[in-house]
Amino acid sequence: MCDLRYPTVFDSGIRFNQGVLVHQGTAFEELVIHDGIFEGVNVCNFAFRYHGFSLFAHQTKSAMTLKQSQITVDEWIKTIGVRYFNELTNTAILMEEVGELARIMAREYGEQSWKKGAEKEDLGDEMADVLFVLICLANQTGIDLEEALLKNLKKKTKRDLTRHKDNEKLEG
C-alpha cells in the first residue's frame, strides 16, 4: 500500500505533505493514488492534474536511501515536530534510545530475561528510534550520511583488508 501519512519526498522532487502533493510550491489537482507493479517493482502510482494538464508519475516502494531518509526526517521535523531539539538534547536522546535497544538485545539475545508480566518490546521500532535521532543529528550538523558511510567503509576496507581473515579467533 502507498503510505502517505507522513511527509514524503519522491524521486521526481514532488513532495506529499498533509494531504497535498506539491512540486516547486504548486499544489496538484485531482490526485489519484494507487498501488501497482512497474517493471517488476512495487510502485505507488499517481495520476494528477497540473495547470490543466493530466500527468502520471510513480514512486518505487523500495528501501529509502540514506539521503531520502534525511530529507524525510527533515520534512517531518519541520511540519510535525515543529523544530529540532538542540544537538546536545538530541545526543542525550540518542543515548536513551540506544539504551532501550540494548535492553531488548540483552533480553532477547543475551542472558537477561524479561520481568514477569513485562511486555515484549519491538526490536525494529527501537532500531528505528536510534536511526531517527541519528538522522536528526546528521541533519543538524550538516553531515551527508551516505557520503560519510561510503567514506567510512572505504577506510575500514583499507585498514581491515586482511585483519579479520587472519584472526584465528574468527575461524569457524
Sole residue written with cell 541533519: 139
Q: Which residue has the higher pLDDT, 37 or 168?
A: 168
3-state secondary structure of 21: strand
Residue 4 has a pLDDT of 47
3-state secondary structure of 97: helix
Distance of CA 17 to the CA centre of its chain: 16
Listed range (29-33, 86-90, 137-141) with the worst mean pLDDT: 29-33
Residue 14 contacts residue 57 (beta carbons within 8 Å):
yes
Reply yes or no on whether the pLDDT at 146 is more than 70.
Answer: yes
Contacts of 134 (CB under 8 A, 6+ apart): 94, 145
**Which residue from 80, 168, 90, 103 is spatially nearest to 132, judged by alpha carbons?**
90
What is the pTM (predicted TM-score) of this model?
Answer: 0.66
Reply yes or no on whether the pLDDT at 43 is more than 80.
Answer: no
Residue 14 burial (CB count, 10 A): 19
Q: Domain coordinates of the chain in residue numbers?
A: 8-60, 66-160
Phi, psi (deg, nearest 5) at residue 30: 50, 55
Instruction: With cut-offs at 50, 70 and 90, classify the pLDDT of residue 80.
Output: confident
Helices (H), the chain: 66-79, 87-108, 123-141, 145-160
Reply yes or no on whether the pLDDT at 7 is more than 50.
Answer: no
CA distance 88 to 94: 10
Residue 26 has a pLDDT of 52
Residue 96 contacts residue 87 (beta carbons within 8 Å):
no
Task: Specify the CATH class of 66-160 in words.
Answer: mainly alpha
